[in-house]
Amino acid sequence: MSGSADAPLRVLLVDDHAMVRSGFAMVLSVEDDVVVVGEAADGEQALVVARGTRPDVILMDVQMPRVDGIAATRQVVAEGLGHVVIVTTFDRDDYLFAALEAGASGFLLKNAGPEQLLEAVRAAGHGHALLAPEVTRRVIGRMVGSEDGRVRPEPPALQHLTSREREVLVMLGRGLSNAEIAAALVLGEATVKTHVSNVLAKLHLRDRVQAVVYAYEAGLILPAED
C-alpha cells in the first residue's frame, strides 16, 4: 500500500493526546508529498478510521485507552491497512518489543524533530522500515538476548544464505542503511539492495525490522554488542 511517486503519502495519526496529534499534523500539513487523512484517539477508533481511509502510514501511540497501540498494530498488519510507525516516549521497552513482534515498521520518539518525523513517514510510506539504532538496539538487545547464558542453536534457514548475504544480515541487525552497508563492504547500493531482498526472501522476513530481530534471535549479534 505504499504511496506512488505522483500521489502524496496518506497518514493517519493515532494518539490519545489531541495536542500530540495537532503537533504532528502541523508539521506534516506543509509538505506537498504528505497528507493527513484522519486522526484517532485510541486503537479501536484507529482501526475504524484506517478501514475507511486506507492510509499508507499510521503513526501509532502505544499506551492508549480501550485498545492499545500494540493490539491495534497487530490488527492493522493482519488486515493490511497500512505501515505502522510506533510513536513513543520510550519508557517501556517491553511495549516496544511487543510492537515489533506485532509487525510495526519502525519507531519514532515523541520528542523527535520535524525532520525525523518526515523521515519516518516517508520511509514507512515507501515500504522501508525505519531503524533508529538508539531504539532498536536497546529494545532488542534487552528482550531477545542470551540472558540465560545459553548459546542459541543456529537456525537451519541461515544455511540458505551466501557468505555475503550473511554479512549483510549482520549489518542489518546493527541498523545500518543500504548506503552504510555498501560503504562497509565496498559494494554498489544496487548490489546491496539485491542482497537485502535475497536475505528477506530466503528467511521469509517481512522487512528490515524483522531482519534485526532475526539477527539477534539467531545469535549473530550479542545484546551487549554496539
Q: Is residue 29 part of a domain?
A: yes
- 53 and 119: one domain? yes
Query: Do both 31 and 116 map to the same domain?
Result: yes
Report which of 67, 69, 70, 39 is spatially closest to residue 55, judged by C-alpha positions: 39
26: cell is 502541523
What is the C-alpha separation between 44 and 57, in angstroms, rounded? 17
Q: Does residue 144 fall inside a structural domain? A: no
Name the 3-class secondary structure at 106. strand
pLDDT at position 216: 79
pLDDT of 219 reads 80
Number of independent structural domains in the chain: 2
State which residues of the chain have pLDDT below 70.
1-5, 90-94, 129-153, 222-226
Cα–Cα distance between 138 and 132 in angstroms, integer?
10
- 8 Å CB contact between 211 and 199: yes
151-166 burial: b if 16+ Cβ within 10 Å, else e: eeeeeeebeebeeebb
Question: Which single residue is written with the C-alpha cell 542453536?
Answer: 153
CA within 13 Å, CB half, 3: 22
Give pLDDT, residue 132. 58
Q: H/E element holding 9?
A: strand 9-14
Do 184 and 120 lie in one domain? The reply is no
The H-or-E segment that residue 10 falls in is: strand 9-14
Give one DSSP letter per residue of 186-210, joined into a string. T--HHHHHHHHHHHHHHTT-SSHHH
pLDDT of residue 223: 54
Residue 115 lies in a domain: yes
R_g of the chain, CA atoms, integer Å: 18
Residue 146 has a pLDDT of 45
Q: CB count, 10 Å around CB of 89? A: 11
Give how far the C-alpha of residue 3 lies from the chain's centroid of Cα atoms, to the nearest Å.
17
- Beta bridge mates, 83: 57
Q: Are residues 110 and 160 in the same domain?
A: no
- Residue 191: give the domain boundaries: 150-217
Q: Does residue 137 form part of some domain?
A: no
- Residue 89 confidence (pLDDT): 76
Asked whether residue 4 is domain-assigned, the answer is: no
